[in-house]
Amino acid sequence: MQQEPSFAAMIELFPYGGLFMSALLAATLFPVQSEAVLVGMLLSDFNPATLVIVATVGNVLGAVINWAIGLQIHRFRDHKWMPVSPAALDRASTHYRRYGRWSLLLSWMPIIGDPLTVVAGVLREPAWSFLLMVTLAKAGRYLFLTMATLGLA
């Protein structure tokens, strides 16, 4: 017979859920900063390795959402509500065509990272290479931030 988790145990998971959601939203076109959440949790009594994994998974999932939007963007490109202008999309597409999948290693960067993940979908980057490059980039950023915060860098 399985015992249900206690209320206290479930409450302990809430901060991780908050980090996951902030990382997921930060990887989309919403202006959210997951780095501040991560640093705050690192300065508290949370396991650094778990934090890096949770933040990375959330951020990569957000990038996958962008990639999936990119796969369908031709349907919405000229709508007024579209958060990426056609001009910005064209600039990112030019950059992506020039450097290819390697440009996804910059997906961690503010401003250019999110449009790059959308463009990867527009240009039909295969899922396996998209996930590999984006995971390396985003895990690297969170790992570096964790090491810097804990004085290990």
Write down the pTM of the prediction.
0.84
- Which two tokens mark 89? 């999309």
- Which two tokens mark 93? 């597409």
For residue 5, pLDDT beyond 70: no
In percent, how much of the chain has pLDDT > 70?
Answer: 90
At 93-141, the pLDDT tens digits run 787 888 889 999 999 988 888 888 988 998 999 999 999 999 999 999 9
* All structural domains of the chain with their residue ranges: 13-149
d(CA 102, CA 130): 10
Whose tokens are 């705050």? That residue is 40
Residue 8 buriedness (CB in 10 A; 0-12 / 13-18 / 19+):
exposed
Residue 41 CB coordination number (10 Å):
22
52 neighbors 152 (Cβ within 8 angstroms):
no
At 50-78, the pLDDT tens digits run 999 999 999 999 999 999 999 988 777 67
